[in-house]
Amino acid sequence: MTPAVATASSCARCTLHAESVFRVEGMCCGEEAAILQRRLTPLTGVEDIFADIVGQRLHVKYDAALLSTHVIVEAVAETGMRAWLEHEEPLVPPSAAARGVLVLISGLALAAGLGIQALGGPAPMSVSAFVVAALAGAVFPGRRALASLRIRDLDINVLMLVAVVGAMILREWAEAGTVVFLFAIAQWLESRSMDRARAAIRSLMSLTPDVARVRTDEHEETQPVEGLGLGTILIIRPGEKIPLDGVVVLGRSDVNQAPITGESLPIDKGPGDDVFAGTINGHGAMEVSVTRRRRDTTLARIIHLVETAQAQRAPAQQFIDRFARWYTPGVIVLAVLVATVPPLTMGMSFETWFYRALVLLVVACPCALVISTPVSIVSALAGAARRGVLVKGGIHLERLAAVRAMALDKTGTLTRASLAVTDVIAAAGSSEAEVLGSASAVEMRSEHPIAAAIVRESRGRHLSFTASSDVRALPGLGAQGLVDGQMVLCGNARLFRERGLLGPTAEALADRITASGASPVLIARDSVVLGVIGVADQERDVAADAIEHLHREGIRPIVMLTGDHESAARPIAARLGLDGVRAGLLPHEKVAAIQALRREHGVVAMVGDGVNDAPALAVADVGIAMGVIGSDAALETADVALMTDELSKLAYAIRLSRATVRNIRANIAISLVLKVAFVALAVTGLATLWMAVVADTGASIIVIANAMRLLRHD
């Protein structure tokens, strides 16, 4: 125990929640994760520990009043692994070279021993060569074995050493040398393939440049991105990667946003448009004013979210953890029985059965099984992130695979986010300019797509208006605000009925708009109806296609949930081939509609815009927000976030989730079948020690390779 823990434990009230992320060298597999968990959990002040095996990271939530990071680092060091705070990573990873040399010595000694044996050389010479091979190869596993014994744990290293010592007792010198050498090679191969997986995943999050070209008065100079503040003017040349999020102030260009959104077509950017760190400038030069520091860029958030997503355990993982907990001790008990029962009760050869027990020991480590789920999930999440689909954890991926029915919001989801004003009709005593002007004053402060359409129309007509104060959004109904001391109300017929303003005038105005197929937005000032604005939305070009793909995946029913009027919603739903429409819904009615769908059809996904549809997204089994790039709220709340509003990504997400679940099942099956087969082969005496070693690591490598296929899944 470390002294810091003992002294601090007297202070129980002053909790100071903290979370630190450590990189851990030597944590390659579930075994080591379990060791760390067991070593750290008893530390006073530790609240939660999560080991991200694939990322080689350890997330520790703790009470900073009771525990400091260096106590954690020391505790990790006691297990034989090394940890450091993520941002303090050392430049040279230690011990890799020493390890390689020892493996080489082991291999050469083994070859020498086998050679001497084959040539009929003296036995003491070949035996000593085998012993050298065993000793050189056992240095690293031996260190690990000691560490795990110190915390009373039996990991693969301990089991392997016991097996090797046993082989030596049986005078199987060649076998002992071979097994150690193979084990060393196998572990090296396994950590190599894991490293490759890590590198592939990390490279997806293609990094942003470290330096940027900055405009200082009259000058241009290169400065490190890290220190750049908001409002700094960056000069982006053609073909360069954009270093920070910002807004274009000068110039025009096409920007390839694929690194963040997965969208293949470049987007036109001009003054006033947002650009994002990590995206690639096309043919034009631009000047961009920085809107976010390096740590807050959209890309940084995405990377952070993917990393935390990896840290969440999927349900399949929990099953495996439970299984692994009894598997290893179970096989060890079996090994003891195999070594003792047949010789003692049936008088069979002790040597034969002891050897079989040793093989069983090697088979007792379920390493491939333990990594089977995390590697699949991590590569699926990383592959999805590259295509602009952010899934917030394995659990959402598994639920997505089970989705039966889907509900989609209309405005901004099935239809284009930009609507058009079709009509402006003034009531007697008012004018079109007055109707649009007062509406725009309020709508300027609203984020609804309808609001943007109205404001755009007013700007197009060169009307002048000032933003109103005290604007309140009335979800599913409209918005209200104060303009020159008068209350202006904009919204649908339902809102006007609620406020007692839906007299014959208002109704007649609304009907004229509805008859044309558009949706009416009524405007009133101080309870006097000024007129109505007709807005129409247009379904997205790809929407019908996307729905068809979802149907082909067996998602049915697919229904539209909208707050809009039935007469505007029906024709769109019919053209898109939806299975149902629920119109005129308030946000809480959308929630009820989702619950009804779930009762009737099972797992339901809801697709919406993340801001207006937040309650419905939250209540669905999977909440999918669209077009979230640039909207932090939506990015944080949804279970699945689509960076752009490409509806085609929905079917991709479903396919990927199902492929992931299949991949996990295959991985579990591969590792279980191999283990069970080897337990049987070991008991019947058909398997040798070296075969068991090869099977053990072979399974891990197969599992990793299989999981990596998800990175490229389309």
Number of other residues whose CB lies within 10 A of the CB of residue 349: 10
Angle at 482 between CA 481 and CA 486, to 5 degrees: 130
Q: How far apart are CA 526 and CA 278, in angstroms?
A: 49
Interface with ligand ADP by CB under 6 A: which range of 138-146, 473-481, 653-661, 686-694?
A: 473-481
Read off φ and ψ for residue 467, nearest 5 degrees: -60, 140
In the list Mg ion, ligand ADP, none, the entry touching 524 (Cβ below 5 to 8 angstroms by class) is none
Which range binds ligand ADP by CB under 6 A, 28-36, 358-366, 441-449, 646-654? 441-449
Residue 57 interaction partner, one of Mg ion, ligand ADP, none, beta carbon < 5-8 Å per kind: none
SS3 state of residue 215: strand
Pick from 44, 148, 376, 411 the residue near ligand ADP by CB under 6 A: 411
Assign residue 217 a region: left if phi > 0, alpha if psi is -120 to 50, beta otherwise? Answer: beta
Instruction: Please give the torsion angle defined by the CA atoms of residues 126, 128, 130 and 134, in that order, rounded to the nearest 10 degrees.
Output: 180
Number of H-type helices and E-type strands within the chain: 24, 26
Here the tokens at position 650 are: 């929905």
Please identify, among the stretches 110-118, 373-381, 484-492, 691-699, the one whose residues bind ligand ADP according to the rule CB under 6 A. 484-492
Site for ligand ADP contains 160 (CB under 6 A): no
Distance CA 5, CA 311 (A): 26
- Minimum distance from residue 590 beta carbon to Mg ion (Å): 10
- If one asks whether residue 519 binds ligand ADP (CB under 6 A), the answer comes out as yes
Residue number with CB closer to ligand ADP (606 or 681): 606
Window contacting ligand ADP (CB under 6 A); options: 153-161, 349-357, 500-508, 560-568? 560-568
Q: Which is nearer to Mg ion, 26 or 563 (CB)?
A: 563
Q: Are 327 and 282 in contact (CB under 8 A)?
A: no
- State the nearest-atom distance from the C-beta of 526 to ligand ADP, in Å: 18
17's enclosing H/E stretch is strand 17-25
Contact stretch for ligand ADP (CB under 6 A) within 143-151, 250-258, 440-448, 481-489: 440-448
Q: Which of 158, 180, 451, 651 binds ligand ADP (CB under 6 A)?
A: 451
Q: What are phi and psi of 126, to 5 degrees?
A: -65, -40
Q: Structure tokens of 348?
A: 């069979």
Task: Confirm or reject binding of residue 448 to ligand ADP (CB under 6 A).
Answer: yes
> Would you say 317 or 612 has its CB closer to Mg ion?
612
For strand 622-625 and strand 604-608, is the pairing parallel, antiparallel, or unpaired? parallel
Nearest-CB residue for ligand ADP: 563
Residue 704 interacting partner from Mg ion, ligand ADP, none (CB closer than 5 to 8 Å by kind)? none
Residue 479 interface partner, choices Mg ion, ligand ADP, none, CB cut-off 5-8 Å depending on type: ligand ADP
Q: Which of 478, 534, 623, 627 binds ligand ADP (CB under 6 A)?
A: 478
Scanning the structure block, which residue is given the tokens 């195999």? 338
Q: Which residues bind to Mg ion, rule: CB under 5 A?
A: 409, 411-412, 612
Which residue in the set 172, 564, 639, 696 belongs to the binding site for ligand ADP (CB under 6 A)?
A: 564
Q: Does 468 bind ligand ADP (CB under 6 A)?
A: no
Nearer to ligand ADP, 52 or 537 (CB): 537
Which residue reads 């405005």 in tokens?
411
Q: How many whole angstroms separate alpha carbon 688 and alpha carbon 676?
A: 15
Please report where in the chains the tokens 């939660």 appear, as a residue.
48
Of 155, 245, 409, 621, the catalytic one is 409
519 binds, options Mg ion, ligand ADP, none, Cβ within 5 to 8 A by partner type: ligand ADP
- Parallel, antiparallel, or unpaired for β 211-216 and 219-224? antiparallel
Q: For residue 491, state whether it binds ligand ADP (rule: CB under 6 A).
A: yes
The greatest distance separating any two alpha carbons of the chain, rounded to the nearest whole angstrom, comes to 117
- Which residue, 220, 243, 398, is CA-closest to 309? 398
Report if residue 446 touches ligand ADP, rule: CB under 6 A: yes
**What's the CA gap between 440 and 456, in Å, rounded?**
9
Main-chain phi, psi angles of 485, to 5 degrees = 80, 0
CA angle 169, 171, 175 (to 5 degrees): 105
* Residue 412 Cβ vs Mg ion, minimum distance, rounded to whole Å: 5
SS3 of the chain: helix, strand, coil, percent, to 5: 55, 20, 30
The site for ligand ADP, by CB under 6 A, has a size of 22
Beta carbon of residue 620, minimum distance to Mg ion (angstroms, whole number)? 15
Q: Are 20 and 69 in contact, with CB atoms under 8 Å apart?
A: yes
If 0-12 CB within 10 Å is exposed, 13-18 middle and 19+ buried, where does residue 405 land? buried
- Shortest Å distance, C-beta 570 to Mg ion: 17
Would you call 423 a catalytic residue per the annotation? no
Q: How far apart are CA 75 and CA 73, in angstroms?
A: 5
Region binding ligand ADP by CB under 6 A among candidate stretches 2-10, 340-348, 446-454, 637-645: 446-454
Q: Where are the beta strands (DSSP E) in 296-427?
A: 389-391, 405-409, 420-426
Residues 412-431 that bind ligand ADP (CB under 6 A): 412
Cβ atoms of 431 and 437 within 8 Å: the answer is no
The partner in contact with residue 448, picked from ligand ADP, Mg ion, none with C-beta cut-offs of 5 to 8 angstroms by kind, is ligand ADP
Q: Which does 490 bind (CB under 5 to 8 A by kind): ligand ADP, Mg ion, none?
A: ligand ADP
**Out of 521, 607, 668, 711, the residue judged to bind ligand ADP by CB under 6 A:** 521
612 part of the interface to ligand ADP, by CB under 6 A: yes
Closest of 538, 513, 561, 543 to residue 645, by C-alpha: 543
Kindly state whether residue 298 participates in binding ligand ADP, applying the rule CB under 6 A. Answer: no
Residue 663 engages ligand ADP in binding (rule: CB under 6 A): no
Closest CB to ligand ADP among residues 187, 446: 446
Asked if 410 interacts with ligand ADP (CB under 6 A), we say yes
Q: Which residue, 26 or 608, has its beta carbon nearer to ligand ADP?
A: 608
The verdict on 490 binding ligand ADP (CB under 6 A) reads yes
| Alpha-carbon gap, residue 271 to 282, rounded angstroms | 15
**What residues are labeled active site?**
409
Q: Which residues bind ligand ADP (CB under 6 A)?
A: 409-412, 443, 446, 448, 450-451, 476-479, 490-492, 519, 521, 562-564, 612
